[in-house]
Structure 1
Amino acid sequence: MFNHEPPDYPCPFCLLITSGENELISRHDVVRQNERATAWVSPRWWPNNHGNVLVVPNAHYENLYDLPPAWGHAVHDLVREVAIAIRHTYDCAGVSTRQHNEPAGYQDVWHYHMHVFPRYPDDQLYNSLHLRDPVPAEARRPYVDRLRRYFDERGSLTDS
């Protein structure tokens, strides 16, 4: 239903989930993973919202229309954990989440995913486009380290 994924689509998110890497994403970017969902610092940043995180189901579902409830709950639970961690570690004023479906909805990777953005006063997130070039791993590393340290110190937030 309402699918746009081409035949034989080489899903970059499935690659990362199964411990693969490519020129844009690396296992080193993963900040949290459980049996149903994975979160990592994205290489695509917005001008004033550095270190945004992507959260995906570990099974391949193209979009919201296909996503079974149990997988959606797992993603949302991890989004919540990541949002709390970002709020505690990025010195930001808030957090926003976004999710896109189909080309007209601005979806450009054919695997369901949610963006978790740090927010700052007057950051213009919704009035700006992402940076043209992917952010290199060394620029992502401080954000990865902050989030991993936070999770290592606190454990799962969904268990409490």
Structure 2
Amino acid sequence: MEPCATIGFATFPRHKPPAYSCPFCRLQQGQFNERNQAEDVIAVTERAYARVAPKWWPGNRGAALVIPRAHVENLYEISAEDGHAVWDLTQRVARAMRTSLDCSGTSIRQHNEPSGDQDVWHLHVHVFPRHDTDDLYRRHDQATWATPQERLPYGQALRTTLGLPTTFG
């Protein structure tokens, strides 16, 4: 575990392992693999970006992640400006899902530290398309990794609806 970070009045431990290679930073740098493809990116703003999530739950195909462009481990460390950018883009992604993915609602969630179920050491917000009978919160152990080909049509639909840049420039 890395040394603690002092933020405001409190000190929080960092949990990323030594020599951690952040997948969200690698994606911004153009480093791709099975779980990080250029086509997964659905929107890029100055301070945040959104991508189709590579991990899906059975009733929530096409989920997305909204991520600050600056590397911050969790909610405790994010600047107000980056936090606003993430929240603004989260709202836009949720609206785009509601419009383009034939869902009847959306849910968001964000995790901090191992006890909070965080498993990628870069803050991110999950945006899920919801359906009346999806049982999202009862199916945690049923999540699977979606292939790039499975993610592609969801990314295309959301990119079209959002109409935002999709490259890191």
> How does the TM-score come out when normalised to structure 2?
0.87
Deviation at 1:17, TM superposition (A): 1.6
Aligned pairs, number: 154
Residues 132, 48 of structure 1: alpha-carbon distance in 2 compared, 3 angstrom cutoff: closer
**Offset at residue 22 of structure 1 (A):** 2.0
Could you tell me which residue of structure 1 aligns to residue 3 of structure 2?
none
- The structure with more radius of gyration: 2
Q: Which residue, 151, 156, 160 being the options, matches 1:140?
A: 151
> Where does 1:113-128 land on structure 2 (aligned, <5 Å)?
113-128=124-139
- The percent of aligned pairs where both chains have the same amino acid is 47
Residue among 52, 56, 60 paired with 2:71? 60
Structure 2 CA distance, aligned partners of 1:61 and 1:129? 25
Residue 9 of structure 1: SS of its match in structure 2? coil
- Kept in 1, the 8 Å contact 2:34–2:147? The answer is no
Secondary structure at the counterpart of residue 116 of structure 1: strand
Q: CA deviation at 1:132?
A: 4.9
* 1:96 equivalent among 82, 92, 107: 107
TM-score (norm 1): 0.91
> Pick from 39, 46, 57: which aligns with 2:50?
39
Look up the SS of the partner of 1:38 in the other structure.
strand
Structure ranking higher in strand proportion = 2
Runs of 4+ in structure 1 deviating by more than 2 angstroms, as ranges, are 130-133
- Distance in 2 (alpha carbons) for counterparts of 1:111 and 1:26: 18
